[in-house]
Amino acid sequence: MRNWFRNMAAAERGVAMIEFAFASTIMVVLVLGILAYGEILARYVQLKYAVGELSRQVAMGDDLSDRQQRYALAITQVNAADEFGNGCVTFTPSPFQGEVTITGTYNLDAAGCRTMPSLMLPMPTVLTATNIFTVP
């Protein structure tokens, strides 16, 4: 009878190890997926803030040349930031008269632009933020 209990305990240990292997694999993939999507969300928030800041600087300009100067100064400051300094982001402004559109594009597929692996999950390759406003 004693041997029977020992054999059952050894068998249960093996089953628990196999169950843990399955469960831990799924949990690791879930955690890494959450981190990867969190990184993409953080990049989008940074991009949206940068586009808003560029728009604010352009909107504060008095005339066309002042808006162009303000944009040039603001774009150098934005590109000097650590998160945008590696060439992953491009900003495209429309002419600084009437209805102005500033679009920021973050290319996640460029080298050095993403830190988390995609883990074969469906991930976006490009993030885009646009701000449209009117100046006199």
**pLDDT tens digit sequence for 8-29:** 666 666 777 888 889 999 998 8
Q: Which helix (H) or strand (E) holds 14?
A: helix 2-59
Q: Phi and psi of 94, rounded to 5°?
A: -90, 175
* Global confidence as pTM: 0.79
Domain ranges for the chain: 2-135
CA–CA separation, 124 vs 105, rounded Å? 12
2-59 vs 64-80: helix axis angle to the nearest 10? 150
Position 131 confidence tier, pLDDT thresholds 50, 70, 90 = very high
66-107: pLDDT as tens digits: 999 999 999 988 888 767 767 889 999 999 999 999 999 999
